[in-house]
Structure 1
Amino acid sequence: MVNDAAFRSSLACLAVVLVIVGIWTQSFKKVVATYIFGMFAIGGVILPDWEFFDRSVSQWCTPLAVGPHHLRSPPNQSTSSNRFRFYPIRLGIYTIVYGYSFYRWWMYVSS
């Protein structure tokens, strides 16, 4: 993983959300559902191989050519600046999937 600090801070935020949901709902099942939803959300945004998905959606089914420049980046070069390129189709897919998942989670927790 390129940025372990982002992963750690995401897990810390998830822990805070779990405590809030636990206090608000006093339901262990809803805390577990929140944990599962949160881990999938964190895993879907932080953990994917962005070199593979940071291409046009039409290229996702083709293999990624790995050359010597992919094996190791220089220590002075920051890869986070190129991490999130704007692709409208990818943004649409993420918005639909995460929007629907968040809606279903919210309906479960708020009931």
Structure 2
Amino acid sequence: MADDAALRKSLICLAAIMAVIGLCTHSLKKMMATYLFGMFAIGGIVLPDWEFFDRPVSQWSSPMSVAQLPPLHPPHASPTPSRFRFYPIRTTIYAIVYGYAFYKWWMYMSS
């Protein structure tokens, strides 16, 4: 990962949320469920190789060739993070997976 600051901030926020959950619920199980959900979310959003996923969905199961890799520092363009590109299919897949995970986490927390 080129920018470790996003990972560090995410982990610090997760630790703060876990502390609040632990203090409010007095439950180690709910605190651990929050940890697992948070690590799942961080691992799926912050850590992926976005250059790999910035291809059509039909090509995700095949490896990238060297010719497909973007140049490290294009001389005429400023580096823009590809993580903020909008792809409807990828966004739909993420919304379904994380929506379901958040629903299950919320149902566990509210019980």
| TMscore range, shorter length | 0.7 to 0.9
Q: Tell me the TM-score normalised to structure 2 length.
A: 0.87
Offset, 1:84: 2.6
Offset, 1:79: 4.3
Q: Which has the higher contact order (CA 8 A, sep 6+)?
A: 1
Which residue of structure 2 aligns with residue 27 of structure 1?
A: 27
Could you say if the C-alpha distance between residues 56 and 68 of structure 1 is closer, same or farther in structure 2, counting changes exceeding 3 Å? Answer: closer
Q: How many residues align?
A: 110
Q: Which runs of 4 or more aligned residues in structure 1 lie more than 6 Å from their structure 2 counterparts after TM superposition?
A: none
CA distance in 1, matches of 2:69, 2:22: 47
Could you say if the C-alpha distance between residues 60 and 47 of structure 1 is closer, same or farther in structure 2, counting changes exceeding 3 Å? Answer: same
* DSSP-derived class of the 1:58 partner: helix
* Structure 2 spans left out of the alignment, 5+ residues: none
User: Superposition RMSD on alpha carbons, in Å?
Assistant: 2.1
Task: Please state if 1:44 is matched with 2:44.
Answer: yes
Task: Please state if 1:18 is matched with 2:18.
Answer: yes
CA distance in 1, matches of 2:86, 2:16: 30
* Structure 1 spans left out of the alignment, 5+ residues: none
Letter in 2 for 1:78: P
Task: Please state if 1:108 is matched with 2:105.
Answer: no
CA distance in 2, matches of 1:79, 1:52: 16
